[in-house]
Chain A
């Protein structure tokens, strides 16, 4: 298989420990079963996403994705697997940022990997992102791409929803505007917009930090798991996940550190300072990865004195996942999430070309029907479904709206831990459950019998409960 590429459709298998791939263009029509770690030592690279599960002790997912919006990709719309792309995640700016900076400072190791990364350019990802650029532009890219990741029910090749422009303020801009507002609230509540903006800015700052956190995490995950392909045995790869966490922690701390200075009355933090902070963080994160044996040491070394900031960075992540928090009666939650009837359905008779199919979502109390003919691309379907079911996904993915797309990251792991990440699957005419997005749209609507928004943990065989347990034991 090595060095060749093949195309296929991803099929959900009943055995949760497997993911099958129906290969379309490689040696006819067959399937590849990912069953054991050995078989996936050569990581799969998918045009839109690749998820590989290591059926290891703790079933900690090894998740990569590459999410590319290049026209080439979109036109193909098939699963492309080009095996030996090690340790690389391309396309998404934040990730490439990580890679490039890692390359900058860690020339000591893994040259091969860098080469492989360049290989990514070959695998038609946007080469802009993957090449090493100045940290500032990287920064921008990263923020833009973070916004692209707002998609919650991501579909391969469904890059941007209409709200993207609004969201995709470059984060440098945010940094600029934030310090303009004093963070201390005025005493008697007369304060209005300015304070509020400050508050908002503050919040964004958190989420930025979270994202930074994610990036670091992703980097750690990436390298932790894939830098040592030769030693890719279960025992070695699995422990690297907590390891990654430490690295990510340290990164987050660093990135958060400017906050106290904001607080203490510094009026403006130049953009450069911030963008400087990020590579710094990555540098810190990278050694942490290198020090595989001493995660704790790395953690402590990098620990920033700003304890409060640390607290904050953890809080938003926690809130979405805590059972029973916020304390709202479940009846209220459910009834608010019941969306009003769809206009197209109220009108009654479906149009001539209507193709109504049922959509179910794991954990959602009701089914919906959608008319596939009203959409012309995966992207539209995705946004529509997202709207329909957002109450559930938002609810479960947290404030940073972690879609499954960008989550090769802290949030990814977190959400996987809690089994609250979703993939869109469909049942085709043959009764097989497939991942949506691998075949051209027309072919899809011809063969789709129904849709299911599936817990991706079910889809790729995670056992969230088991994970939770193991985590609790720790």
Chain B
């Protein structure tokens, strides 16, 4: 290898896109380390507290695209206090100072202030892409700054964020010179947008491929947009409500006929189901359909729509589709690879909710399925075994039975055997979420078979420390382990403390770990941050169980922005 001049090697490195390959390459020799360091443009940081931004920039001075994640995953479900942390501002400040070539920033579960967005919009002249997922802390003022100042912005993607709406005019802040947009997603915004500005923006961005509107954009505007942007590939409708006989509806129907390139459809936040036939003509092209925010589409309309979508690869849907509807999916969507079924009413009994029956049907009809998120009311071992046999390609298998600790309703047995079958036959499984009644046995299976597992979510499961130990000892590739309400204690936590340095993070809440155990862990492993989240403001003794514990490896020591209720041991 030393025969190549460095320029050549560097050029070769450009073809390495995977982070893992690049990491490996950088370990070969000093020269490669140096070359890789200067040529790395995309960096993924799975935990913003794992290192300081300065250190990151020192290692990779030419970052163009940065992905950062903040809060622990369980923050999605309100298990992490609101002001826990995860601020992006220090990162943007540091990048602004030493890395002005930044073009792309993707943030997940981070706190983003308007200030940060303002600074971002002014600091990186070539900034192209901002993707925010489940972030918080900013308002439309920040978006307005991004719109106004990022002259070559291509992508503005806001997903699942509650944005405070200070003024509806942020969309109008895109300058007339802005013609570069490729992707614009503001479906999560609640407030009204300037429809005229939206239409003009769409009209002057010839490369716009992805557009997701929010609820306030009416059907009239949708058809105007479709007339101007028939090139759209990814469309999220806003409000889809109109009289089926009206002029606007007829116009929309005609406009849709021209949108031959649409492959992904979402939205329908408000919907008049009788208007759905307008989109039937493009359904055959669809590879992705997300109706998980469309509770208005139910029953026969939903099934009719699905019957037109024969080429779906990805389907997100609410459980009001019912087992019967899933049967239709199974017989229609033979190419299905990813399925998510969300609960329409997570707490209610659910009239048409789904059960093991629907999942079995899907597994029989959709052999290519490899990613699943399934909220259901019950599951049986026999169904899981059938699913495991039918679909051995799962890489993600997340099953949530709405009643925690619910056993197999047919036999009243725990679901150990069912999940055991999944991990046994799905060799490539990387992500697994468990639910239902589970004993230590299931963890024995997981430890034994789930060799590639990277992320495991456990809730209300297990009997003893053994369960967790099986997982820690067995799953060699485990990176993230999150556990709640399970009887795992200090023994499980402390038996193999070295494991945590190979992992990104460990979350345990409402388990049997005590403060003393956490302290021991912190003492043994100085490169781990052991954080206790204690909102009750009581004086803990060492023997007391900790409410929430978050452990992650870090190069940066205890974080300095922790609020009072977070103790880093």
Residues of A within 8 A of B (CB): 183-185, 187-189, 191-192, 195-196, 199, 202-203, 207, 263, 308-309, 311-312, 315-316, 318-320, 322-336, 340-341, 391, 394-399, 401, 469
- In-complex Cβ contact of B386 among A188, A311, A325 (8 A): A188
Contact call B459/A189, Cβ cutoff below 8 A: no
Looking at chain A's contact residues, is the secondary structure mostly helix, strand, loop, or mixed? helix
Ordered by A's residue number, 16 sampled pairs between the chains whose C-beta atoms are within 8 Å are A196-B355, A203-B377, A308-B412, A311-B405, A315-B405, A323-B77, A324-B78, A324-B79, A326-B402, A327-B76, A327-B457, A328-B375, A329-B160, A332-B293, A332-B342, A334-B162
Contact call A322/B342, Cβ cutoff below 8 A: no
- In-complex Cβ contact of B343 among A189, A195, A328, A340 (8 A): A328
A325-B383 contact, Cβ under 8 Å, with A336-B344, A395-B347: no
How far, in whole Å, are A318 and B459 apart by their CA atoms in the complex?
13
Interface status of B295 (Cβ within 8 A of chain A): yes
How far, in whole Å, are A195 and B356 apart by their CA atoms in the complex?
11
- B158-182: CB near A (< 8 Å → 1, else 0) gives 0011100000000000000000000
Contact call B345/A394, Cβ cutoff below 8 A: yes
Contact call B77/A319, Cβ cutoff below 8 A: no
Chain B's nearest CB lies how many Å from the CB of A153?
A: 15
- B70-83: CB near A (< 8 Å → 1, else 0) gives 00001011110000
Of chain B, the residue at the smallest CB distance from A308 is B412
Contact call A199/B378, Cβ cutoff below 8 A: yes
How far, in whole Å, are A447 and B295 apart by their CA atoms in the complex?
37
Q: Which residues of A contact B361 (CB under 8 A)?
A: 189
Interface status of B5 (Cβ within 8 A of chain A): no
Interface status of B349 (Cβ within 8 A of chain A): yes
Contact call A311/B407, Cβ cutoff below 8 A: yes
How far, in whole Å, are A189 and B357 apart by their CA atoms in the complex?
6
How far, in whole Å, are A340 and B403 apart by their CA atoms in the complex?
29
How far, in whole Å, are A315 and B412 apart by their CA atoms in the complex?
13
Contact call A330/B78, Cβ cutoff below 8 A: yes
Of chain B, the residue at the smallest CB distance from A328 is B346
Q: With contacts A189-B364, A333-B346, A469-B536 known, what are 10 further pairs, Cβ within 8 A?
A: A189-B360, A196-B357, A199-B355, A203-B349, A322-B485, A324-B484, A327-B76, A328-B342, A336-B344, A396-B347
Q: Which residues of A contact B270 (CB under 8 A)?
A: 340-341
Interface status of B404 (Cβ within 8 A of chain A): yes
Contact call B357/A327, Cβ cutoff below 8 A: no
Contact call B383/A185, Cβ cutoff below 8 A: yes
- B382-420: CB near A (< 8 Å → 1, else 0) gives 110010000000000000101111110111100000000
- In-complex Cβ contact of A329 among B76, B375, B402 (8 A): B76
Contact call B79/A323, Cβ cutoff below 8 A: yes
* Interface size, chain B (Cβ < 8 Å): 56
Q: Which residues of A contact B367 (CB under 8 A)?
A: none
A327-B77 contact, Cβ under 8 Å, with A187-B382, A189-B357, A189-B383: yes
Q: Which residues of B contact A326 (CB under 8 A)?
A: 343, 346, 375, 400, 402
CB proximity to A under 8 Å, residues B328-385: 342-349, 355-357, 360-361, 364, 375, 377-378, 380, 382-383
Contact call B79/A191, Cβ cutoff below 8 A: no
Q: Which residues of A contact B295 (CB under 8 A)?
A: 336
Interface status of B437 (Cβ within 8 A of chain A): yes
Of chain B, the residue at the smallest CB distance from A322 is B404
How far, in whole Å, are A365 and B210 apart by their CA atoms in the complex?
30
Q: Which residues of B contact A202 (CB under 8 A)?
A: 409
How far, in whole Å, are A396 and B410 apart by their CA atoms in the complex?
29
Contact call B375/A336, Cβ cutoff below 8 A: no
How far, in whole Å, are A333 and B162 apart by their CA atoms in the complex?
12
- In-complex Cβ contact of A185 among B356, B412, B536 (8 A): B356
Chain A's nearest CB lies how many Å from the CB of B406?
A: 5
Q: Which residues of A contact B46 (CB under 8 A)?
A: none
